[in-house]
Amino acid sequence: MFQFPHSTLLSCTYCSSKSSVSPWTGPWIGTQEAWVLFLALALICSVTYSDLFDLSKDQELNLAYVSSVPHGGIEQVRIHWLLELITVGVTNGKLHYNFTSLDNLMDLLWKNKLIPGFELMGSPSGYFTDFEDKKQVIRWRSLIALLAKRYIDRYGLEHVAKWNFETWNEPDHHDFDNVSMSIKGFLNYYDACSEGLREASSLLKFGGPGDSFHPFPKSPICWSLLHHCYNGTNFFTGATGVRLDYIALHKKGAGSSLHILEQEIEAMEQIQKLFPNFTSVPVYNDEADPLVGWSVPQTWRADVTYAAMVVKVIIQHQNLLISKANNTINYTLLSNDNAFMNYHPHYFTQRTLTARFQMNNTKPPHVQMVRKPVLTVMGLLALLGENQVFVDIISKDESADTDTVGVLATVHAPAELQPSDSWQATILIYASDDNRTSSNISAVTVNVTRFPRHAELVYVTYLLDNNLTNPYLEWKKVGSPDFPSVKQFQQIRDAEDPVVTGPFRFPGDGRLILKQELPLPSVFLIHVCARPHSVPNQVTGVHLIPLTKGQVAVLWDDDCVDSKCLKTFEVEFSSDGKAYRRINARDTIFTLWVYSPGKASAHTQLNLSPQHSHSVESVLRYICH
């Protein structure tokens, strides 16, 4: 039973008559207060090839795909080895820094409306080698202050204050390259980072250590840092204690979704026991992956299995931790470490959001990407509202597994000054047995009753499963080519988006009964919208990324649309700037679309010359109409 404001009730009854799969029947405690699980990513750079990796055309396209999740569904990209993009020269004992490469990457994030999870990691030109050297510690503070002031000047304090500055990644793994980093040296480094950022602005956030926090006395740098911040001596000020704006830890699942949450709770219980004044400090798990080892190929990472597992992890955190009345953990951010770019021949099976094809059979070579279900599901998560509501789930098969089906329900109240916004309710259901698949099907009945009375309520459903929305399966069907043809890419990309039904009018009596069969794995979302007072606003920021001859990625920005109740975006083309026709045949709520007509349609190829006009328009057939 979902409990909405104003005593509105929605009950869900699941039956598993077709299989042994049945839903979760444990306690689900909701709250009507706003909740946030900040969706973020981690992007790993190569220390040796950081300039090539971070600033390549491949990365430009990869970040465009990341930012194409609608409604700002992904906001942060967490990046290792950023300071390797800075070079340093010494003249008459003075250091001179060149930020050009780092500026270019920050500009690329800015262009894509993404903020960095900014790890202060790396040694510019290998200059910094020992943080027990007082001179180097002082110069490091100056570098961090210079860096922070630079980006405040470049983007504004309001924007940079949103960045999560973080320590060197996983210090207890000792991946410091050529830097000598003892425990004492790491604490000196931390103080230098903290004071450098504070010199730029007291509004900048800084936390860490971004590591495993194995039970004490393991993970010595992790525990030493907390002790230092709690009652240690600041290297620069001599004061007792050093600021710690958030605690970043890494807990992965070893193939189990619930194991992530269990490890987090265990670590935080020990932290709160040893450092009780840290109870209110925000907690980030910014590498909450189901399995370690991003490059190890796993078939389940290729399809909806991974997507459903990511949703399951988020819903478990919301329902089993954040919404609990007795929760003492200030859980603020859950992030997946999956913005990598795959390499041959593992196009879909590595821990990535996209499948990258390096098309070396063209002159010049180029890159094509395909959106994987794990990125598509972020678009469904973006449809959730700000307020969680109560859920009651009943399973008719008490002997069945109760951990494979779960649900999260939310509502959204429109902003008064945005007439294109409207009241919404979202019900997100997953069927997931973690990283396992089966032929089992859960028969789900959703019973919505006593809904709030709004003008012309309509609803749409979205479904992801391994049969209908599986680009990996389509790639295998066409022979698993290294260099898919234009036609093959079209077939593969036709499986990127969820299966959408509707819009349908919501029953006038305020009661809706929906029956849905959920394969294992799958994700099912119901989005209910009231009619807004005005149509959606126009999209902005239309631009193109050339891919190869006759093919481009078309991108746009939905920030100003001010409505999540969109049926689709329409991409229109004109060869003369007068008569336009739609060229994206399939509906999409994502803000990136690949135009690749192929040789058979050469007369409609997109020409980048000035006499051709290109238009992207938000469709007026929004689902509330």
Active site residues: 170
Dihedral sign (CA 257, 261, 264, 265): negative
What is the rounded CA–CA span in Å between residue 106 and residue 100? Answer: 10
The strand order across the sheet containing 569-574 reads 581-582, 569-574, 613-618
Beta-bridge partner residues of 8: 4
Residue 563 in contact with residue 421, Cβ under 8 Å?
A: yes
In the DSSP assignment, the letter for residue 498 is P
In 3D space, the residue among 335, 350, 357 whose CA is nearest the CA of residue 289 turns out to be 335
Structure tokens at 155: 């983007």
3-state secondary structure of 316: helix
Residues 6+ apart with CB under 8 A from 625: 531, 535
First-residue to last-residue Cα distance in the chain = 28
In 3D space, the residue among 8, 61, 12, 22 whose CA is nearest the CA of residue 440 turns out to be 22
- Amino acid (one-letter) located at 134: K
What is the rounded CA–CA span in Å between residue 14 and residue 280? Answer: 38
Contacts 24+ apart (CB under 8 A), 569-574: 569/539, 569/593, 569/616, 569/617, 569/618, 569/619, 570/616, 570/617, 570/618, 570/619, 571/595, 571/615, 571/616, 572/615, 572/616, 572/617, 573/604, 573/606, 573/614, 573/615, 574/612, 574/613, 574/614, 574/615
Beta-bridge partner residues of 384: none
Structure tokens at 32: 């009507």
What is the rounded CA–CA span in Å between residue 370 and residue 56? Answer: 18
In 3D space, the residue among 32, 36, 600, 39 whose CA is nearest the CA of residue 334 turns out to be 39
Structure tokens at 260: 């992530």
